Amino acid sequence: MVSIQLLSEDEEKVKIQFSISDTGIGIAVDKIDKIFENFQQASSGTARLYGGTGLGLAIVKQLVEHQGGSISVKSKIGEGSTFSFILTFKQTKADAEIEPEIVELDTEITNVKVLVAEDIALNQLLMRTLLDDFGFECDIAANGKIAIEKLHAKSYDIILMDLQMPEMNGFEATEYIRNTMNSVIPIIALTADVTTVDLAKCKAVGMNDYIAKPIDERLLYSKIVGFVKKTIVLNENTEILNDESIKLKCTNLDFLKQRTKSNPSLMMEMISLYLEQTPALIKIMNQSLLSKDWNLLYTTVHKMIPSFSIVGISADFENMAKKIQEYASTRKQTDKIHDLVIQIENVCNRACDELEEEFNLIKNTK
Amino acid sequence: MMNSNYKRTLFIVEDDAMYLKLVEIEFLQYPDFKLETFATGELCVENLSHNPDLIILDYHLDSVDKFAMNGIHTLDKIKAINPNIPVVMLSSQDKIEVAINCMRHNAYDYIVKSETAFISLQKVIATIFHTQKLEKTLEWYKANT
């Protein structure tokens, strides 16, 4: 049992006693003075029975005394021992920094958008799986550069940032996010190497926290929830600004241009494939919703999903589509599907209109 | 990638028309490959006699047709007929369990359909053919010394 007790207090200093009690074998009175000496244990048989070098208490004693404290022990054979030390601290007016408690999984907290910057495929999968289990949305960027591109295209609640990545590492990316983008989005470093040098560097570039690999999933969850709860309050004031984007195009042909090296015939082939398959899929999606054929709805939406990123429709819609799949397969919250389907239908219809225009544009300039 | 006249045959099995087209476009830059594309696992298995050097196989082949063979089933069939053909799985599923399952069924590798999928694919293909070349050289030395 661990306990902390305030012994005395004045304007400048406080004296605190820290104690730890066990219900072990106890120490005989005549041995008590010896146990704080180097390489000493209560009896020579202790090491054989319980292991240990006999250095632990000696080190503790030195640590405490170097800080101007004192250490003592009370013990009764057969009942246990209580070790305690007293240290003096300076008074402070600063608020206590509360360590994040381990929060239990709360299914109420959803819609958390996490951006993971991580270059190693296996770690990407691991993070995706963990975040999926938490019920969070997650996008993966393979390096800092891609992370910044994604950050420009979409809003996130928090970033999990690996430190060592090719092209642009986690430190450089954070520096850019803080200084060039002037963003205050919470950034948690993911690091396998928790040395003081790295941690100081994390802080220096403006990261909020770190998590050591291998990742403790409960700690990860607690930290994310801790940060996200804090920022929700901040964000409520800034949301009005984002409304302007509504009139913008919902498609973006950058990806196709890149893949086809802007070859007009290939672009047209891809676009016409989209224009061919999409109206039919929308029709089946609506029909399956009407007839409550959840399996058909699931597979239809599944077919639509890859096309979103190909024609550059925002990942938000892809996530909506995945929500439909989730509700359709679990048969839970099926009442929510209707709205989602309407939104998907709208964006696909708009995409078809836009792409038809693009198609004609390419055709005429060819 | 290759300098001889020998063209490597590559099977692409994918039921999503747009994604299939994308993969095809990607391989246009490698004229050394002869592509054969199939929309179902059944068609792929039927044509194994064409001796593909490599198969790129979608994990979800039964999303269009519920009764179609899925990716894992197709993978098993391919491996039963010719265990030496390397099969790379492509999937929109980025779940560890799915990846592990594919590897257990003797897939050569597992690639998630993401923006870096084509880079990964390039790397895997280069590795596969490099390994095959080394194996052939080794066989040659074994036979001639």
CATH assignment of the domain containing A259: 1.20.120.160
In a domain, B2, yes or no: no
> CB-hemisphere CA count at 13 Å for A153?
20
Interface probe, candidates A123, A273, A278, A284, chain B, greatest B C-beta count within 10 A:
A273
In a domain, A21, yes or no: yes
DSSP string of A75-138, one letter each residue: EETTTEEEEEEEEEEE---SPPPPPPP-PPP-TT----EEEEE---HHHHHHHHHHHHHHT-EE
In a domain, A96, yes or no: no
Indicate the residue of B25, B92, B95 with minimum beta-carbon distance to A266: B25
Tell me the pLDDT tens digit for each residue of B5-61.
Answer: 578 899 999 988 888 998 888 888 888 889 999 999 999 999 999 999 999 999 988
* B127 CB within 8 Å of a chain A CB: no
In a domain, B93, yes or no: yes
B95:A255 CB<8 A: no
For residue B41, give the CATH number of its domain: 3.40.50.2300
Q: A27 φ, ψ to 5°? A: -130, 135
A119 lies in the same domain as A225: yes
pLDDT at site A95: 65
CA distances from B111 to B92, B93, B106, B118 (A): 9, 9, 14, 9
Tell me the pLDDT tens digit for each residue of B68-108.
Answer: 788 999 999 999 999 999 999 998 877 888 899 999 999 99
CA angle A223, A224, A226 (to 5 degrees): 65
In a domain, A97, yes or no: no
In a domain, A296, yes or no: yes
A129 lies in the same domain as A231: yes
Domain, as residue range, for B58: 8-144
Q: Decide if pLDDT at A246 tops 80.
A: no
A258 lies in the same domain as A345: yes
Interface probe, candidates B15, B18, B94, chain A, greatest A C-beta count within 10 A:
B18
A156 lies in the same domain as A238: yes
The pLDDT of A91-109, averaged and rounded, is: 64
Domain, as residue range, for A13: 2-90
B112:A270 CB<8 A: no
Q: Number of H helices and number of E strands within chain A?
A: 12, 9
pLDDT at site A154: 87
A204 lies in the same domain as A273: no
In a domain, B34, yes or no: yes
Report the run of H or E that residue B72 belongs to, with start and end. helix B71-81
The pLDDT of A56-60, averaged and rounded, is: 83
A303:B95 CB<8 A: no
Domain final residue pick, A189, A216, A243: A243
Q: A7 φ, ψ to 5°? A: -90, -45
A237 lies in the same domain as A258: no
Cβ pair A205, A179 in contact under 8 A: no
A163 lies in the same domain as A275: no
Find how far residue A171's CA is from the centre of its chain: 17
A127 lies in the same domain as A34: no
For residue A46, give the CATH number of its domain: 3.30.565.10
Please give the sequence-ordered ranges of beta strands (E in DSSP) within B6-118, or none if there are none: 8-13, 33-38, 54-58, 87-91, 109-112
In a domain, A27, yes or no: yes
In a domain, B126, yes or no: yes
Question: Which residues lie across from A210 on neighbouring strands?
Answer: A189
Cβ pair B94, B112 in contact under 8 A: yes
Instruction: Determine the residue of chain B that is closest to A305 in CA distance.
Output: B92
A236 lies in the same domain as A270: no
In a domain, B1, yes or no: no
pLDDT at site A99: 56
Provide ipTM, 2 decimals.
0.73
* B22 CB within 8 Å of a chain A CB: yes
In a domain, B3, yes or no: no
In a domain, A101, yes or no: no
Indicate the residue of A125, A146, A277 with minimum beta-carbon distance to B17: A277
At A120, the pLDDT band (50, 70, 90 cuts) reads: confident
Distance from CA of B120 to the nearest CA of A (A): 10
The pLDDT of A338-359, averaged and rounded, is: 92
B113:A306 CB<8 A: yes
In a domain, B29, yes or no: yes
In a domain, A345, yes or no: yes
pLDDT at site B107: 94
Q: Decide if pLDDT at A104 tops 80.
A: no
pLDDT at site A255: 86
* A146 CB within 8 Å of a chain B CB: yes
Question: Which residues lie across from A87 on neighbouring strands?
Answer: A16
A239 lies in the same domain as A328: no
Cβ pair A281, A344 in contact under 8 A: no
A120 lies in the same domain as A232: yes
Distance from CA of A331 to the nearest CA of B (A): 19
pLDDT at site A132: 87
State the helix-helix crossing angle for A337-365 and A264-290, rounded to 10 degrees.
160
For residue A171, give the CATH number of its domain: 3.40.50.2300
Domain final residue pick, A218, A243, A268: A243
Indicate the residue of A124, A129, A306 with minimum beta-carbon distance to B16: A306
* B26 CB within 8 Å of a chain A CB: yes
Strand order in the sheet with A2-9: A2-9, A13-21, A80-90, A70-76
Q: Could you give the number of structural domains in chain A?
A: 3
More confident residue, A245 or A140: A140
A125:B112 CB<8 A: yes
Q: Could you give the number of structural domains in chain B?
A: 1
In a domain, A98, yes or no: no
A80 lies in the same domain as A119: no
